[in-house]
Structure 1
Amino acid sequence: MKIRNALIVLLSMGLSACGGGNESSTALPSTSDPDTTPYLIQGNLAKVQGSQVLINGKWLDTMGATVRYAAQPWAEPLQAGMDVSVVAAGGKATEIILNPLLTGQLTATAIQCQSDWQVNSVRLDQIGAGLQAGDWVMVFGEYAPQGQVSVKKVVGLLGEPQWLEVENRVSELDEVNHTFKLGSIAVNYQGALLEDGQLREGRWVEVFGLLRGSQMEAREIELEHDAGFPDRSEVEGIVNYYDSVSGLLELGRQRQVWVTNATIFKHGARQDLKPGVALDVDMVASERGPVATEIEFDHGDDQVESYPNQQFKLSGWGKWDGDLLTVNGISFEIDGLTRFKDGINRNNLDGHWLEVDGVVRNGLNLVREIELDELGNNLELMGLVSKGSLWNYRSSDQSLSLFEERWLELDCDYDGNYLSNCRIDD
């Protein structure tokens, strides 16, 4: 199942278009492309017409391309809505990897005269026509904020797959008993093959295994990480996090890219980079990671409705026990994608006044950027004001109460114990 490694190997070999040189006998969209340098495209198939597919605004000829899922050949037809990784060159695809969120059996429960559709205990907002309970399926889409899948496509399979699959963020990790959760799914990873690094709270993982009652027994686990992107890539996704100061942009499935002053924007502008916005991003490799050369805003039906802006910012004294960061008594998750600044790292966090930036997902406070801060008489805080408190800071003049149950960015005076004069940060 070393899908990502296989793609990088293919690219490093300098593959140009191979196989499938025959032209279709019917009029199809042009796939001519003068650039014969292999590159990677990740996204949803917008259209499929014979051997031609439309992905990220480009038509590609798939004749002769190898199609795989979980490192095994895939013989069933490609369909619009599938999420795929494609190695392409000169307008032709040479390798296509299917990337569903879920693979499993479709179940249905009647709730108020309607069917509650699920795969591997994960709720779906729709399934499409022609499917029924008991079918083996692949589900392509994105997780909506409430945990159910916003479906792009549910594909019925001809038979029972060798492995079930679930993708999501790790939570409730128990390294002693070798268990964790993916949303509502309990996973036992005792004896599982772990690809690409160490399990951590908040990391996005692909888990392949078998379902035993209410628990999934993992056989192989793959972690998403930046090293999966070659020198040239195109990725589409939903914005999870964006920091206008540093330029760090994170799309779904923890795919990070840096936005610079040289980044070109189409159908939108830099100030439109907000959680829930759908993008197509062209990127190139750099020493610090992928850099966006062009960002195109997708104003189609890909955008997740009512996507909450749950980015956060706070400063405070950091406490680090070697595994968990707490600030003001609140836990924050540092994972493999956390960016450290000012020479700090996991070994020297403890006891410093820190600025912590990140995003809340699945109840986890995921730190995306962390740096040393200077303690002063002013605090900039972003988060949810609840019961007169923001990140366990309280105001002496009740100025926080004006913003009760709102998620926003505030500028407050600070005397070392209490906030005062809190106002919306313009």
Structure 2
Amino acid sequence: MKKLALISVVGLILTGCGGSDSNSNGSNDNNTQAPSAVQGTIDSVSGNTIVVNGYSYQVDSANYAGEDVAIADLEKNMMVSISSNARSTNDGAQLTLEPTIVGQITYIAPNNISFIVNGITLTYSGLSEEIGVDDWVMVSSLPTANAGYKVLSVVKFAPSEPYETVEVEGLITNLDVNTLTFKLGGALTVEYTMDSIDNDSNESQLADGLWVEVTGSMVGSVLQAKEVEVEDFDEIDNDTEIEGIITWVANDKLSFDLSYKGRFVVNDNTRYEDGNKSNLTVGTEVEVTTKQANGENVATEIEFEHHDDTQDWSDNDIEFEGRVHNVKGQSNFEIQTKSGDQLIYVNKNTRYENEWGMDVALDLDELSGKLVEVETYKIDNQYIASEIEAEDND
């Protein structure tokens, strides 16, 4: 097998699946123009032509973490993002590798299917026999229903120098602001400092249920974070196509969450390919083309791939109804239901609709004592609120 070599360090990137056939100038054979930017998995590599989500791009350069990667070393099913100027100039596209997990393999099961990287047990039937214990690998994956990872590819790489920085993306669970620790992937313990939290945006506060990218070093079984960055879709450009998996859907199917990272809304102008609005269900893999409108990401087109039948997604669409009490700061609260009290966690992606049907900023102190309906998804035995709707309290 090829071994990915970083010309100065190591690399990779995120999400993807196929679309329709295309040619090498960034447009389809049927004259449908390729998106100006794409996040997805590599379909194929031929010279400098990289096909992602069914669209071909002439790639000038590939990199990971600021380091160059040889285009010839890229492989199918690596998760990447491509930004292209080819639609307005003759310049080629820039490709960025963004793996879900980067680290050293510490165990491979005798069946060569189960293995451990950074303390996380992964399953992948396509693991090359040329990959062994102590090898550095880049893992591309999609989220699952239980905080784990659906592995798409595992690529061995050769650092250009001694390399100890690891990377793990995943959902925060069991956040403890007193000990400054949390879990990733339901298993890996992360220790962080306040200085390690990325403050590039106004929304830098960590919370259970947020998808983050953590870089740092493994000390025993603990990942000591150098940087923790919340991953979202808050600053994506118009006409970007993103591949991912639906992780929550509103009851009216007018909005959905993609890969736990952020929300997209649909309207009468949303186009559907290989399905329709009724196919918006949790666990369905899709390609979403988006634009910004009124501060929201609007899905202009949704292409349905297939449903992830390997996971039980039934726990990712759970609704509670009752009265809010026992509010704990701005991170969680209890709701009194007919079957007993239930602890609910909130984060920056939680939407709140008041009694008058208006989306307003979430303030749990003001919510205390109110009757509400809460739409949640369950991760690592924690219920994360996607949407909270206040009922008429009269």
Change (3 A) 1:115 1:286: closer
Residue of structure 2 equivalent to 1:189: 192
Residue of structure 1 equivalent to 2:242: 235
Q: d(CA) in 2 for partners of 1:296 and 1:374?
A: 38
Residue of structure 2 equivalent to 1:339: 351
Q: Deviations over 1:248-304 (max 9, x none)?
A: 2111142321111221111011111111111011111112311001111114xx845
Shift of 1:142: 1.8
CA contact (8 A) 1:143 1:149 kept: yes
**Gap regions ≥5 residues in structure 1:** 1-27, 377-426
Aligned counterpart in structure 1 of residue 382 of structure 2, from 364, 383, 386: 364
CA contact (8 A) 2:23 2:55 kept: no
Shift of 1:229: 1.2
Change (3 A) 1:115 1:276: closer
Shift of 1:70: 2.5
238-247 or 117-126, which moves further after superposition?
238-247
Q: d(CA) in 1 for partners of 2:142 and 2:208?
A: 20
Which TM-score applies when normalising by structure 2?
A: 0.80
Q: Does 1:69 align with 2:64?
A: yes
Q: d(CA) in 2 for partners of 1:266 and 1:282?
A: 11
Helix, strand or coil at the partner of 1:261: coil
Q: Does 1:122 align with 2:120?
A: yes
Aligned counterpart in structure 1 of residue 335 of structure 2, from 308, 327, 340: 327
Q: Does 1:259 align with 2:266?
A: yes
CA contact (8 A) 2:244 2:258 kept: yes
Helix, strand or coil at the partner of 1:271: helix
Shift of 1:245: 1.6
CA contact (8 A) 2:351 2:362 kept: no
Q: d(CA) in 2 for partners of 1:225 and 1:116?
A: 30
Q: d(CA) in 2 for partners of 1:278 and 1:36?
A: 22
Aligned counterpart in structure 1 of residue 57 of structure 2, from 56, 60, 65: 60
Residue of structure 2 equivalent to 1:139: 139
Helix, strand or coil at the partner of 2:82: strand
The correspondence of residues 9-48 of structure 1 with structure 2, limited to 5 A, is 29-33=23-27, 39-48=36-45
Q: d(CA) in 2 for partners of 1:358 and 1:72?
A: 40
CA contact (8 A) 1:47 1:80 kept: yes
Residue of structure 1 equivalent to 2:103: 104
Aligned counterpart in structure 2 of residue 307 of structure 1, from 308, 312, 318: 312
Q: Deviations over 1:129-150 (max 9, x none)?
A: 2211111000001233355432
Q: d(CA) in 1 for partners of 2:35 and 2:259?
A: 24
Shift of 1:110: 4.1
Q: Deviations over 1:46-92 (max 9, x none)?
A: 11112111112211111x23x22223333462211111121123366
349-358 or 312-321, which moves further after superposition?
312-321
Helix, strand or coil at the partner of 1:227: coil
CA contact (8 A) 2:35 2:240 kept: no
Helix, strand or coil at the partner of 2:158: coil
Aligned counterpart in structure 2 of residue 176 of structure 1, from 170, 175, 178: 178
> Which residue identity is paired with 1:306?
Q
Q: Deviations over 1:172-221 (max 9, x none)?
A: 21212211111211111026421241111111100000000011110011
What RMSD over aligned residues (CA atoms) do the two structures have, in Å?
A: 2.5
> Which residue identity is paired with 1:176?
N
Residue of structure 2 equivalent to 1:270: 277
CA contact (8 A) 1:248 1:258 kept: yes
Q: Does 1:281 align with 2:288?
A: yes
CA contact (8 A) 2:34 2:55 kept: no
Q: d(CA) in 2 for partners of 1:110 and 1:244?
A: 42
Q: d(CA) in 2 for partners of 1:248 and 1:104?
A: 35
Change (3 A) 1:215 1:281: same
Helix, strand or coil at the partner of 1:358: strand
Q: Deviations over 1:118-167 (max 9, x none)?
A: 11111221152221111100000123335543211101011354410111
Which TM-score applies when normalising by structure 1?
A: 0.75
Helix, strand or coil at the partner of 1:290: strand
Shift of 1:99: 1.5
Helix, strand or coil at the partner of 2:123: coil
CA contact (8 A) 1:278 1:303 kept: yes
CA contact (8 A) 2:131 2:156 kept: yes
Aligned counterpart in structure 2 of residue 199 of structure 1, from 201, 206, 216: 206
Q: Deviations over 1:227-254 (max 9, x none)?
A: 2312231101111111142612111142
Shift of 1:108: 2.0
Q: d(CA) in 1 for partners of 2:261 and 2:37?
A: 17
